[in-house]
Structures are given as structure tokens and as C-alpha cells.
Structure 1
Amino acid sequence: DMDDLGAEIGTCISEDDTSVDDEPRRTPKETGFHRSARECLRKIREDLLQHRWQEAAEYMISYFQTLEDTTVTKQLLASEIIWRLGTEILHHHPNSNPEDFNSFLEQMKNIGVKSYLKVSLEHAFHLLLTGHFDEAKQQLSIAESWRYGRQSASQADKMKLIHAYRGFLDYFSWISKKNATSGDDDADVADHKEMHNYFRQASVNLQEILKQPGVWDPFVIGYVNMLEFYNDQDGALSILKEYAYDNSFPPNPNAHVFLYDFLKRHDAPEKKLIRVLEVLQALVPSHELMLELCSLLLKSEN
């Protein structure tokens, strides 16, 4: 996405109001408004490259005027540019604070409704990075209930990610509760019930994202961890096998490592371990687990 945006920014900056040939231009001539916007964007880019965050912030305030463009495509592009570059400026500006960041992202959600889910996801990531777990979870909860017009395929995909990360945060809540009650003789029924509620909530969302072809390593590890805790070994094994062997998923060496580790933990026969490692060998011949494969093969010959 950033590469595409970079190309768009380059196009915006390099646009010229003169034709490269003798044919008259069929598009309306560039206005002073568009020239000013293009120059402003060029200044922002220069300041970003030189790490002049204050100057970039000042030009960005002026660039907000591009949202008044009556051309829908230009308006959408402007909101995307402001969101991406504004986030970068706030991230590095020495005087920015969490309130500035939160206020800016909330504004971006309301300006570019088509980017609402993307901005919400980034907002949640930012809150997590700054240690605001509950606030991040709340952002995802709000995004889960967001609706605007007819949902596009792109919005549907992003909503799946919102649900997935909400489930992943429920998994972290489950982990936290598990650690708090582990070895605690005073842990009561309410504590265990709360922990199981987190498990149930996380499971619903994690199950859904694992139906979508993709690389979902952290989600798989979290879900399997919970299933193993509740002694659902068959369920965990089913998830891992599907993740490793479903041809609709991209080739992923980690999927086979996860399956191997699980089988090894549960004392699976060596033949099964060898089969899993042989598939991994085809994907990554130099993987560190090839030493274990050699050892298993030597043992099987004796």
C-alpha cells in the first residue's frame, strides 16, 4: 500500500499543466488551487526526507485544504496522503503526544470513510505499541460495529482483519487471566468463568480468520495454545494440519514447524514426525530442523 501511495504522491508532484505533444489536452487545465496543493505536497516530501518534522507539520496543515477538492478521486487520494504522511510526522515530531495522535486518527476516520477500517486498525496498533491495551481493544470493538453504505469486497476483507485482531486481543486477555490464576488456590469460579469467556470470544474470531487463505502464524499459535490448555488435542491437531496442508494457503514453512512441534510434544510416532519434516525439507532444505530429520532417519534404519 505504501509503495502505491508513494507512486501516487510522485505522480501528484510531477503533474504539469503543459502538454508533452502538440495535441490539445482533453482534461481541464490545472488550477492555481491544484498547483498550490502540488507544491505543498512537494515541500512536505522534502521535509520528511530531511527529517524536518516541524516544517512538514506546518505544510501538512495547509495541505488539508485539498480535502475541499470537488473531484472525488482527488479527494480520496488527498485523505489517504494526509493520513499516511500525517501519521509519519506525528510519530517523529518531538512535541507530539498521545492526545495529538488519537485526535488526528479520529479525524481521519471521519474524513475518509472508505479508509475507516484501515485507520481503525492502525489506531489499535498504535495504542498497543504505546501500552494502551484496553483502549486498543475498544477501538477494534467500535470498528466491528461500523457500517457505511453497501459493504465492498475490500471492506469485507478489512472487517475480517478487525475481527481477527479483536480475537487475538481476547487471546491475550485469556493469557493474562490464565497467568494470574495459575497456581492460585484462591482463584474462584468467577475467575475461571471469565477466563473461559475470553477463550470463547477469541475462538469465534480466530476460527473465522483461519478459514481465509493467508499467513496467520500468531493467530494459529494462540488458538492452538488455548485448545491444548482445554485438552482439545484433536481440535488443535486439525487446525495445524489444515494450516500446513491446505493447498489454498500459501506455502509456509512455519506451518510445518508448528505441526512438528505439536506432534513432538504429544509423543507422536517417529514416522509421523519424519513425514512432517520431509515436507519441510522440500520447502527449506537448510532449515535447522533438518538435523532432527537426519537423526530420526538414522534411528529408523536401526
Structure 2
Amino acid sequence: MDDWTADLEVDVICSDDDSTRRGKSLKLPLVKPVCAKRKSGYGFHQSCRMCLEKIREAMLHHRWQEAAEYMACCSQILECKSEYRVPPNKVLIRRISTEILHHHPNTTMEDYNVVYERMKHSGFKHYLMISLEHAFHLMLHGKIKDAKQKLCDAEGWKYGKESAIQIQNTRLIQAYRSLLDYIIWCDTKSSLSNKDYFDMQNALNSFRKASVNLKEILKHPGVWDPFILSYVDMLEFYQDHDEALKVLTDYALDENFPPNPNAQVYLYRYLKQHDAPQKKQMKVLKNLHSLVPSHELMLDYISYLLQAEKKASAQKALAVILEMLDFACWRTNLDLWRSLQGVIQKLQMEDNFESIVRETMASRKDWWYALHFTSFHGRKDSKENPELLEVKASLAKILCPDRELKYAAE
């Protein structure tokens, strides 16, 4: 709110400055006006600025009724068409109005609709995004069909030559409209217990409407998690597993899309649910590890690595476990330390066991001791988790052979 004055400030230019400049060019003496005239509309802007200061004061003290009354007085600022200055920040006005509505105890849905409709038609620049915000508000109050209608209206809105941002916003409107079709499909599907033909047909129609734009999303790189999951849910319901797998695979592995850990998680869980070959599952987990080495699904990755017969798999499992233990959320996880103990026991059967551990710990030797094996950790683990103390104590000297360890129970 500190930026209100700057956003709504109007430069004042007196008419006597123009007269002086004209006088110099004509070299004629001019009578200095008794009262300098200001630009047209200055008084209006001055009043609005003062009104907004009152609104800020009222909002800071949670006097929402007072803020609403002042807001009603300066709402004409939305129709400002000053020829001397760009109209004030209408986004700021919109945010102030909706904030007051959210907190006012007597606000009705009709009040929201009036404000949003007025905002939409106060200028074309933000029409699409205001329509989307309006739809969100209706969704939060359970008015799904009304929200869909608002998005349908916005989807067909055109103004002038389409700009890149307008095309992008229209695409977003289409995506959310399809998401509402999915919600309607879910509601219709839940009433199919009687196998009524008309209900089944309505559900199929909702699926077709939703799938059109949801399928199109994959042509535009981005993070589309809720839309992809909705589309896959419908495909699975209609037993189209091949298409569902293709959608998730493209979303997770297409290099044109930004790195997205969630996409890898969705694909892995789908593969696991349908008993896909372990090799495919491990490939996805490997991708996830490169993005989020601390993810809980790394426990599955470690399990698969330990099941593999290759010698390199145990070394990889060691690296994965140590990376997880670098993060605070895993430092006291008993299952993970036990997995590390099992990997160490498996690697001890190798001739080059010491060199493997030394190479893996090379980048950690200066700080891993302080992270896990100080006397403070010993006292804490002894008190809170004696089993963890026992497991860590058996690994301390192996992982930090060059340090004098004080990690022990007291």
C-alpha cells in the first residue's frame, strides 16, 4: 500500500508556464493570470488520491465498512480517460476492491459479481485474467457451472489484433475451462451407480469436451500438473491405458518441457501401478534423482539398485543414500541408515571396498562428521533413538576414518 501515492500521482502543470513559453516566442508582454489553471481532471485525481489514503488507513485498522464506503466514492477512477496521463493503476484498484470484499462481513456473491464485471469492462488489457480470477472465486464457492460459463464467455472474447500475451491467456482460459469440464465429469460419474443411459451419455459428453483442450496442452511446453492428471484419470476410467501412458511419458520425458519432478513421479507411479518392467521404473527414478535427490521415492530406487546383480549398482546405491543423508529431513531416519548399513556390508565383500568408500566420501570429508557424528548427535540419538545410535556407531569409523570420533552414548 505504500506505492499508492506513486501509482496514482498526477503531475501538475500550470497554464502560466505555457503562457511564459509562448510569450518568449512572441516577445509580447502577457498579463499574469490571477489564478493559475490546472490541467483538466487534476481535482478528480487529487480527490481519488486522498480517498485512497483514507482506504489504506481503514484497511490497516480492519475497518472494512469504512473502507468499502470510501472505495465506492472513488470507483470512478476506473473510467479515467485523462489525455495528459496514462490512467492510474487499475490492477491496484482491483486488488483493493477484492481485498475489501474478502474481509467485509456482509459481502454477498452479487457484490463480487458486480465488482468483477465492472473491472472487466473498465479496460481491455486485463479482461481475460480478471475473468479467470472471477471463475476461481465462483469455483471456491462451489458454483462450477457459473464459473465454466464465465470462462466460456472469456474464451470467445476477441479485441483487436491478437498479441502473444492474449494468445497465452486465452490458452490458459481454455485449459481451466476444460478442468471444469473434468470436475463436471467427476460429478456425473459419481452418479452412474444405476447405469442410467442418459447419465452415461452426459459423462461421455463431458469427457469429450474436457479432453479436447487437455490433450492440446501437451503441444505447449509448461508445467500442467493438474490438467495432465485430470486427463489421465479420465483415460484410465475408459480403459485407454496406452494413451494414458503416452501422455505421462511425453509430459515427463519430452525435452521441450521444463524439468518437472512431479512429472517423473506421476509416470513412475503409473508404471508401478501397472507392473511395468523394473528397468523402465528405474529409468524414471534415475531422472527423478537428478532433479530431487532427497525425494522419498529414492528409497524405492535404492531398493531396486540393491536387487540388481551388477557391482556398480551397489556403488550407485551408496551414492544415492549419502546424498539423501545430506538433507536435514533424512538425518535421523532409521530405515535409511539401516539401508546404508546393508550397502556397506555388501560392498565389504569387494576387494576395493575402502577405495570405493573413500572416493564417495571425498567431497564430504570436511563437513560430514559435523553433520552426523559429533558428541551432541551422540547424546541426542542416545536419548531419542537408541537403535539409530547403534546403527550409526557401526558406520562412523568406516565413513570418517580420519577423524577422532566422539559420537557415543553417555
Work out whether the TM-score is over 0.5: yes
Query: Which letter maps to 1:174?
Result: W
State the Cα deviation string for residues 85-126 of structure 1 (Å, max 9, x = none): 111111111111111111111121122222221111111111
Name the CA distance, whole Å, in 2 between partners of 1:205 and 1:58.
43
Deviation of 1:198 after TM superposition, in Å, equals 0.9
Change (3 A) 1:7 1:294: farther
Q: Is the 8 A contact 2:8 2:89 kept in 1?
A: no
Correspondent of 1:68 among 80, 101, 108? 80
Deviation of 1:41 after TM superposition, in Å, equals 2.5
Q: Is the 8 A contact 2:10 2:45 kept in 1?
A: no
Query: Which letter maps to 2:82?
Result: T
Deviation of 1:300 after TM superposition, in Å, equals 1.9
Q: Is the 8 A contact 1:227 1:233 kept in 2?
A: yes
Structure 2 residue aligned with 1:273? 281
Name the CA distance, whole Å, in 2 between partners of 1:289 and 1:112.
49
Name the CA distance, whole Å, in 1 between partners of 2:231 and 2:81.
47
Deviation of 1:176 after TM superposition, in Å, equals 1.6
Gaps of 5+ in 1: 1-5, 19-27
Structure 2 residue aligned with 1:138? 149
Deviation of 1:16 after TM superposition, in Å, equals 7.2
Structure 2 residue aligned with 1:11? 6
Q: Is the 8 A contact 1:171 1:198 kept in 2?
A: yes
Structure 1 residue aligned with 2:241? 233
Structure 2 residue aligned with 1:3? none
Q: Does 2:166 correspond to 1:158? A: no
Name the CA distance, whole Å, in 2 between partners of 1:49 and 1:252.
40
**Secondary structure at 2:45's aligned position in 1?**
helix
Deviation of 1:232 after TM superposition, in Å, equals 1.8
- Rg larger in structure: 2
Structure 2 residue aligned with 1:23? none
Query: Which letter maps to 1:108?
Result: M
Structure 2 residue aligned with 1:47? 58
Identity of aligned residues (%): 52
Correspondent of 1:121 among 121, 124, 132? 132
Correspondent of 1:282 among 281, 286, 290? 290
Q: Is the 8 A contact 2:131 2:150 kept in 1?
A: yes
Deviation of 1:285 after TM superposition, in Å, equals 0.7
Deviation of 1:195 after TM superposition, in Å, equals 1.2
Q: Does 2:305 correspond to 1:297? A: yes
Deviation of 1:73 after TM superposition, in Å, equals 6.6
TM-score (normalised: structure 2): 0.64
Structure 2 residue aligned with 1:33? 44
Matches within 5 A, 1:83-94: 83-94=94-105
Change (3 A) 1:39 1:269: same
**Secondary structure at 2:191's aligned position in 1?**
helix
Aligned residues: 284
Q: Is the 8 A contact 2:55 2:71 kept in 1?
A: yes
Name the CA distance, whole Å, in 2 between partners of 1:50 and 1:209.
45
Name the CA distance, whole Å, in 2 between partners of 1:72 and 1:117.
27
Change (3 A) 1:50 1:210: farther
TM-score (normalised: structure 1): 0.86
Q: Is the 8 A contact 1:80 1:112 kept in 2?
A: no
**Secondary structure at 1:196's aligned position in 2?**
helix
Name the CA distance, whole Å, in 1 between partners of 2:190 and 2:289.
36
**Secondary structure at 1:96's aligned position in 2?**
coil
Q: Does 2:245 correspond to 1:250? A: no
Correspondent of 1:216 among 224, 229, 235? 224
Name the CA distance, whole Å, in 1 between partners of 2:84 and 2:290.
50
Change (3 A) 1:130 1:17: same
Structure 1 stretches of at least 4 aligned residues deviating more than 6 Å after TM superposition = none
Structure 2 residue aligned with 1:21? none
